[in-house]
Each structure stands twice: as C-alpha cells, then as structure tokens.
Amino acid sequence: MKIATWNVNSIRARLDNVVTWLKETSPDVACLQEIKTVEDTFPRQALEDLGYNVAIHGQKSYNGVAMLSKKPFEDVCAILPGDDSDEQARFLQATISTDDGALTIASIYAPNGNPVESEKYPYKLDWMKRLHAHAQEMLKLEECFVIAGDYNVIPHDDDVHNPESWREDALFRPETLEHYHRLLNLGLTDAYRACKQAAHQYTFWDYQAGAWPKDHGIRIDHHLLSPQAADRLKSAGIDRFTRGWQKASDHVPIWIELDI
DNA sequence: ATGTCGATACTTTATCGA
C-alpha cells in the first residue's frame, strides 16, 4: 500500500497538478494539507472521478486537511484532542480496513510557528504536545498507525541546505526539535530516513529568492510510523518532479510503501 | 541585493500567512 502526503497550498489553485500527479503515481492513500477551503467548495467530484473516497476537514482561506483513499473509510475523526478552543483545521484521521487488519492514518498540518516571539510559537509547541499525547494513546492499540503530513519541522542539519541560516527559525530551533524528538522517543519511525540515508533530500522550496533553482530546500514533510507499521515498511520516495511544473506548490509529495 | 504565491475584501491594490 502506497501512502503519500502533499501540502498542496490551496486545492483549488492546485487541482490540475493534483489530478495529474494522482494519475501518474496512483497512491492508495493521499493526505493533503493547506487545502485552504471549506468542504462546500472542495473539488470533491474531480477526485472521486479518479476512484478515491474523500474525507475533508476544511477551513476558509487558511489551513485545512483532507485524505483520499481508494479503500473506503471505516472511521473518520477531525479532532486532535487537548484544546476544545482550537478552531484551526490541522488534523484528520481515518481508519481503513485491510487484509492484515486495521490501518489508521492521520493527515496533519502542524503550525509553522513563525515569528517565534509571537503567540504563534507557543501555539506550535502546544500543538506538538497534543500530537504527542494523541500518538501515545494510539500506540497503546499496538496497530499499524501512520501520521503523515507537514510537520513544519526540519529534523536534522542534513535536512537543510544551510543549517546556520535556519537555526533560529521556528521550524528548526532547539525547542522545536526537542518536541519532535519526544515524538520519535515514543517509538515512532521517520519512514523516509529509515529507507534513505542521503543528505539534502527536500520536500519544500520557498517560492522566493530562487530557492528551487538553487536547491535551497528543507525536509519538513514526514511519515511517522508505529512499530507495527515500521515492520511493514518497504520503500519511500519524494516526487521532486512536481516542483518544476507550472503553478507548482512550494511543497512536493513524499510517499511510503507498506507491505500491507 | 533582489527575487513568490494564494485567499480575501467596502477589490482591481493592500494585507496576511507561509
């Protein structure tokens, strides 16, 4: 089973690219982030026409996540526990039944957190704490569980062109990495790193300052796997080619294959 | 040194977020 995740930076602006990519790469599940629209204006039909079931946690203008699956969703939850007052659409979790049992997948859009001296940074860290608590609960089930999406975290110096220029950024500062390490320390596996050891493999290049032609990117989109999912991990890859397309998202898809 | 893109609104340019 191939599970991809892609921050599309507006599903309505990106629909042609998303449809082309789905036809070319045919993931079984696609987690989408920054759809930037509500369910009423999400282009559901175009994706259903490609054979996908569609689950949406939308928001006007900002944020918003969705999931596409060739298999039907058994259960869908759009709430990350821990803050009833949080109105930002950044989480969607669904369960799919497979021949090998239940598989639960979350599509996440973690907060960016910049600027760090604003209220956005504590919100980012609190959101990561909530994700940690949720992952801890899910791990008790001892099932296949994948948290895929835009973590807005650069895990390591090898995941950025110039680490020093990012050191104080909300995506890379030590306090952010501490929170990310707490997730890994639960026993979750960074699927891409488990498969590929090459440095400087990126999933995001800023639109500004010639970041793409200079390959000044960062790796911030990840799949974290429960031990049961990690046992089934076969391969991983990054669909870099979509960044060169017309009307490209600033992120590209990243995918894994599980032997399920 | 500079460089972008998408959504929104009392819109056709400014503002916000990334």
**In chain A, domain spans:** 2-258
Q: Distance between CA atoms of A97 and A30, rounded to whole angstroms?
A: 16
What does the pLDDT look like over A51-79, one tens digit per residue? 999 999 999 999 999 999 999 999 999 99
The SS3 assignment for A20 reads helix
Q: Distance between CA atoms of A158 and A190, rounded to whole angstroms?
A: 14
Task: Give the CATH class of A2-258.
Answer: alpha beta
Other Cβ atoms within 10 Å of A83 Cβ, number: 14
Statement: the CB of A9 is under 7 Å from strand B: yes
pLDDT band of residue A100 (cuts 50, 70, 90) is: confident
Å from A184 (CA) to B6 (C1')?
Answer: 33
Å from A173 (CA) to B14 (C1')?
Answer: 32
Å from A9 (CA) to B6 (C1')?
Answer: 8
Q: How much is the pTM? A: 0.97
pLDDT band of residue A245 (cuts 50, 70, 90) is: very high
Which residue is nearest nucleotide B17, judged by alpha carbon to C1' distance? A62
Of the candidates A192, A164, A206, the residue with the CA atom closest to the CA atom of residue A256: A192
Statement: the CB of A228 is under 7 Å from strand B: no
A206: Cα within 13 Å, side-chain hemisphere: 7
The bases of strand B with some atom under 7 A from any protein CB are 2-8, 17-18
